[in-house]
């Protein structure tokens, strides 16, 4: 078993992210002594694990309420949010009580927003159970829900009390979901930590997991702990300097403008990581056409992502729909589209109002 790794997030309300194995007892111990009640927001597939956590919390004398919500993006709606508020109200939750988000990125986004909005803010502990949630959604204080008009358009910044990333939770994660989560890890390699790209490149077969049956082996867990810790460190460094996305934090959205447009166009039927993979290739092509990246650097995007089994293309003839969706992106200012691109590897910059011709050229490159 690998030793726990701790990443400190030095924001105005600092907290630690722990990456390791068999952390459930630690999660129970992390609930502040001042709390009397705990709301665990989770999805049905995780109920057995949540029952184990409830037993540990019960042993501390805490009143535990479980809010079971729809899995994945279906849970990030105003209706589900209102359901959680109702549970809190009926259970007499006060400002000293705590919410725990136990699940994938959609659950941690929802739980964080529930905590941010109840009594104008109560404590939240995040227990991400997917790779995507561990390296992205659960760290950094972003919370939110979706609307009919787009993803994460309603939300708040609300930092957790602590985050617990137990790689044993990945044992039962479907292979395609594990691979999709690696897209966010690779993103951190391109924007800040090149060692991530080296580690991924040296372990493509292991990380793809084709033919894997049952639990992850010790070697794979060790590689994942290293990659998860490195990716979280990248995010921690960025959000510590810029919590509320005034400028620097936007680099974490590398590939996301196009990715969110794909998700919206596909009515959220694409995995987020799969969309981010195509989105990174799109902005790499955009950077190449803008004279910022070489062909070899663009090819490195495709080689690593395709080597993991992630998509690098998207069907053609959908440009108008994608362009409309991108104009809703949070980085857009008025009618001015803004993208995070690379001016050489590990050097993210902004590209504002790109020529429509190079936008269509980048799209042609990913739809070929």
- Residue 187 annotated as part of some ligand binding site: no
- Residue 71 annotated as part of some ligand binding site: yes
- Residue 307 annotated as part of some ligand binding site: no
- Residue 195 annotated as part of some ligand binding site: no
- Residue 33 annotated as part of some ligand binding site: no
- Residue 73 annotated as part of some ligand binding site: yes
- Residue 285 annotated as part of some ligand binding site: no
- Residue 244 annotated as part of some ligand binding site: no
- Residue 117 annotated as part of some ligand binding site: no
- Residue 121 annotated as part of some ligand binding site: no
- Residue 172 annotated as part of some ligand binding site: no
Tokens encoding 310: 């992630």
Residues acting as catalytic residues: 120, 142, 184, 235, 245, 249, 253, 256, 260, 272
- Residue 256 annotated as part of some ligand binding site: yes
- Residue 297 annotated as part of some ligand binding site: no
State the binding site: 71-76, 105-109, 129-130, 142, 151, 184, 256, 272
List, as residue ranges, the binding site for NAD(+).
71-76, 105-109, 129-130, 142, 151
Annotated binding site for Zn(2+): which residue ranges? Answer: 184, 256, 272
């Amino acid at each position: 078993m690998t030793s726990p790794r701790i990443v400190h997030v030095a924001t105005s309300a600092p907290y630690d992210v722990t990456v390791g194995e068999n952390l459930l007892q630690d999660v129970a111990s992390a609930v502040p002594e001042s709390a009397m009640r705990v709301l665990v927001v989770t999805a049905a597939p995780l109920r057995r694990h949540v029952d184990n956590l409830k037993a540990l919390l019960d042993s501390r004398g805490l009143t535990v309420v479980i809010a079971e919500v729809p899995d994945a993006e279906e849970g990030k709606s105003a209706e589900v949010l209102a359901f959680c508020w109702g549970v809190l109200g009926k259970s007499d939750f006060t400002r000293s009580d705590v919410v725990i988000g136990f699940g994938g990125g959609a659950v941690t986004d929802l739980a964080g927003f529930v905590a941010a909005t109840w009594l104008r803010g109560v404590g939240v502990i995040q227990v991400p159970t997917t790779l995507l949630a561990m390296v992205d959604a659960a760290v950094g204080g972003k919370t939110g829900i979706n609307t009919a008009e787009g993803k994460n358009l309603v939300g708040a910044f609300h930092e957790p009390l602590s985050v617990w990333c137990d790689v044993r939770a990945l044992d039962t994660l479907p292979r395609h979901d594990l691979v999709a989560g690696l897209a966010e890890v690779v993103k951190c390699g391109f924007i800040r930590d090149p060692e991530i790209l080296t580690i991924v490149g040296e372990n493509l077969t292991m990380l793809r997991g084709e033919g894997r049956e049952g639990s992850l082996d010790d070697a794979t867990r060790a590689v994942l702990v290293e990659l998860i810790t490195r990716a979280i460190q990248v995010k921690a460094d960025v959000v510590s300097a810029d919590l509320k996305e005034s400028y620097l934090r936007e680099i974490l959205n590398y590939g996301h403008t196009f990715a969110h447009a794909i998700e919206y166009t596909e009515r959220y039927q694409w995995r987020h990581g799969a969309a981010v993979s195509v989105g990174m290739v799109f902005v790499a092509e955009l950077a190449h056409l803008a004279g910022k990246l070489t062909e070899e650097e663009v090819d490195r995007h495709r080689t690593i992502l395709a080597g993991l089994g992630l998509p690098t293309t998207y069907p053609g003839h959908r440009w108008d729909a994608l362009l409309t969706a991108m104009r809703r992106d949070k980085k857009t200012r008025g009618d001015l589209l803004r993208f995070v691109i690379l001016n050489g590897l590990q050097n993210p910059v902004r590209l504002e109002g790109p020529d429509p011709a190079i936008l269509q050229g980048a799209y042609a490159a990913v739809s070929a």
